[in-house]
Structure 1
Amino acid sequence: MKFDLHTHHERCGHADGTIEDYIKAGIDAGLQVIGISDHSPYFGSEEDQPFPKIAMAKSALQGYIDEVLRLKEKYKGRIEVLLGMESDFFPDYAEIYRDVYAKQPFDYLIGSVHHVRGISIFNKKRFKGLNEEEQLNEKREYYSLIKQSALSRMFDILAHIDAMKAYYPAFSDIPAHREIDDTLQTIAECDIAIEINTSGKMKDVGGWYPSDEILERACHFGVKVTFGSDAHVPSRVGDEFELVKKRLKEIGFKDWVYYRNRKRVVVPL
């Protein structure tokens, strides 16, 4: 069983290709299941699309859902198409997001932390000039937000849980083992999966999110795992699926999961 739950498309403003392009790429890659999970609109603003290069407009949401459902029917028997969404987690607006999602027929929701203290985790300058204690505080705040996103129980999957290392590889060396373990334990207790996201190879850090070290700790705490390429171009759909599968087996995982109708489907590794 081969699947990919994390794909984007042109509506978010920073990915190439239509939803159908990603479905066709999934078929070409030998997937049995593909999840479409573009960036959710920003519901914490009166504006329709305050961040046009980051997330889709609120007015585009229904069209997105309708298109995925139409393509789900069109490709039935060739590949299973799942309706998902990658949603930023903003504690101040969490209930607004929850209310919107409750009205829609999502197969799954991916929760992501992309901003800490109002600054993008991908901002290459965010660690510039910070001393060791200040860097540690940034990492602690990042994992506090990830933990809060788990406790919200809004999501089925948490995305790229060490992606702050993307343009600052030394992030992984900032000693915050207690905070990471506490976060992983909370994720396990909330019965949420984390993804192995292969888009890190496209950033300065290279490799995957999360690190092998975090995956080993996740395995220890019994955290469920899933796969997401985080493809922003169709050619990356399913990227390095078999390599991830092999590594998870080496670490000690026995299975991984995907979601249909907000219910977990377990797949042996």
Structure 2
Amino acid sequence: MKFDLHTHHDRCGHASDNIKDYIESAIRAGLHVIGISDHSPYFAHEKDHPSPGIAMARSEFPNYVAEVLRLKEEYKDRIEVLLGVESDFYPDQLELYRASYEPYPFDYIIGSVHQTRGVSIFNRNRWKDKGEAAQLDEKKHYYELIRQSANSGLFQVLGHIDAMKGYYPGFADIAGAEAEIDEALKAVAANDLSIEINTSGKTKDCGGWYPSDAILERALHFGADVTFGSDAHLPGRVGDEWELVRNRLREIGFRRWVFFRQKRKVLVDL
């Protein structure tokens, strides 16, 4: 069974085309399941649409859900469409986000740490003039937030868990945060969640998937499940490198991966 849980569309302001285009692309790619998971609004911001190039307006969120549910029904005989969302994780806003999602029948919610200490994880400038100790502190803090997100009870999938390397490949080489990474992975396993293998890293400076093979090997060791997400911002990337990822997971030693339907884990043999 071929699936992709991580896709975006034009509502977020930095992806192209509409939801239907991604579904049609998934059908052409031979997928059986396509998850729609655009970026969550900034629910805590005083403005309805504070960052048009990053996330949808708060007032647009019900329309997003309604459109996915309509397309789920329209395409039910051709492909299974899942209702998801990629949610930011802010510890101090957790209950607001939880309440914002509660009215809707999500199949899954992807929890992604996109900011630490108020700065985007993709901001190259955050690393300027930081010595080894400060860089290590940043990495440890990042994985502490990922561990907290795993323990929050809000998410089924954790998104791109080493994406800080996206525009700073040296992030992967910062040594000393192994304990924090392991604790995050243990929390994923303990809470019966999944981390995603996200192939969008190939479009960034790091040039590879999220997470690294080393983290995937640790995930297997701790019994954490994995899922697949292209993180497509163009319809043509839906399902991108799915076969390559499946083969690599087999080589590492995984025997299954998963997706979520009505927030329940569906097991798929590799």
SS of the aligned residue for 1:49 comes to: coil
Instruction: Specify the alignment match of 2:78 in structure 1.
Output: 78
Are 1:263 and 2:251 an aligned pair?
no
SS of the aligned residue for 2:244 comes to: helix
Q: Give the C-alpha shift of residue 51 in structure 1.
A: 1.1
Instruction: Specify the alignment match of 2:119 in structure 1.
Output: 119
Q: What one-letter code is carried by the residue in structure 2 that aligns with 1:205?
A: C
What CA deviation, in whole Å up to 9, does each residue of 1:171-229 have, x standing for no partner?
01111111111111111111110000000000000110000000000000000100000
Q: What one-letter code is carried by the residue in structure 2 that aligns with 1:4?
A: D
Are 1:53 and 2:53 an aligned pair?
yes
Tell me, in whole angstroms, the C-alpha distance in 2 between the residues paired with 1:179 and 1:116. 15
SS of the aligned residue for 1:126 comes to: helix
SS of the aligned residue for 1:161 comes to: coil
Q: Give the C-alpha shift of residue 45 in structure 1.
A: 1.1
What CA deviation, in whole Å up to 9, does each residue of 1:77-97 have, x standing for no partner?
100000000000001111000
- 1:60-209 equivalences under 5 Å are 60-175=60-175, 176-209=177-210
Instruction: Specify the alignment match of 2:33 in structure 1.
Output: 33
Instruction: Specify the alignment match of 2:245 in structure 1.
Output: 244
Tell me, in whole angstroms, the C-alpha distance in 1 between the residues paired with 2:83 and 2:183. 31
Q: What one-letter code is carried by the residue in structure 2 that aligns with 1:234?
A: P
Q: What one-letter code is carried by the residue in structure 1 that aligns with 2:227?
A: T
Instruction: Specify the alignment match of 1:7 in structure 2.
Output: 7
Q: Give the C-alpha shift of residue 66 in structure 1.
A: 0.7
TM-score (norm 2): 0.99
Tell me, in whole angstroms, the C-alpha distance in 1 between the residues paired with 2:263 and 2:74. 21
Q: What one-letter code is carried by the residue in structure 2 that aligns with 1:121?
A: I
Tell me, in whole angstroms, the C-alpha distance in 1 between the residues paired with 2:79 and 2:171. 38
Tell me, in whole angstroms, the C-alpha distance in 2 between the residues paired with 1:49 and 1:191. 34
Instruction: Specify the alignment match of 1:219 in structure 2.
Output: 220
Matched residues, number: 269
Are 1:228 and 2:226 an aligned pair?
no
What CA deviation, in whole Å up to 9, does each residue of 1:83-120 have, x standing for no partner?
00000000111100001111111010000000011000
Tell me, in whole angstroms, the C-alpha distance in 1 between the residues paired with 2:94 and 2:156. 15
Tell me, in whole angstroms, the C-alpha distance in 2 between the residues paired with 1:181 and 1:128. 27
Tell me, in whole angstroms, the C-alpha distance in 2 between the residues paired with 1:185 and 1:61. 33
What CA deviation, in whole Å up to 9, does each residue of 1:124-162 have, x standing for no partner?
111111000000000011001101101101000000000
Tell me, in whole angstroms, the C-alpha distance in 1 between the residues paired with 2:180 and 2:164. 15
> CA RMSD for the aligned pairs?
0.6
Q: What one-letter code is carried by the residue in structure 1 that aligns with 2:63?
A: G
Q: What one-letter code is carried by the residue in structure 1 that aligns with 2:137?
A: N
Q: Give the C-alpha shift of residue 28 in structure 1.
A: 0.5
Q: What one-letter code is carried by the residue in structure 1 that aligns with 2:239?
A: G
Are 1:18 and 2:7 an aligned pair?
no
Q: What one-letter code is carried by the residue in structure 2 that aligns with 1:258?
A: F
TM-score (norm 1): 0.99
SS of the aligned residue for 2:196 comes to: strand
SS of the aligned residue for 2:22 comes to: helix
SS of the aligned residue for 2:266 comes to: strand
Q: Which runs of 5+ in 2 are unaligned?
A: none
Q: Give the C-alpha shift of residue 14 in structure 1.
A: 0.4
Instruction: Specify the alignment match of 2:42 in structure 1.
Output: 42
- Tell me the percent identity: 65
- Large movers: runs of 4+ above 2 Å: none
Tell me, in whole angstroms, the C-alpha distance in 2 between the residues paired with 1:191 and 1:173. 29
SS of the aligned residue for 1:76 comes to: coil
Tell me, in whole angstroms, the C-alpha distance in 2 between the residues paired with 1:179 and 1:242. 30
Q: What one-letter code is carried by the residue in structure 1 that aligns with 2:83?
A: L
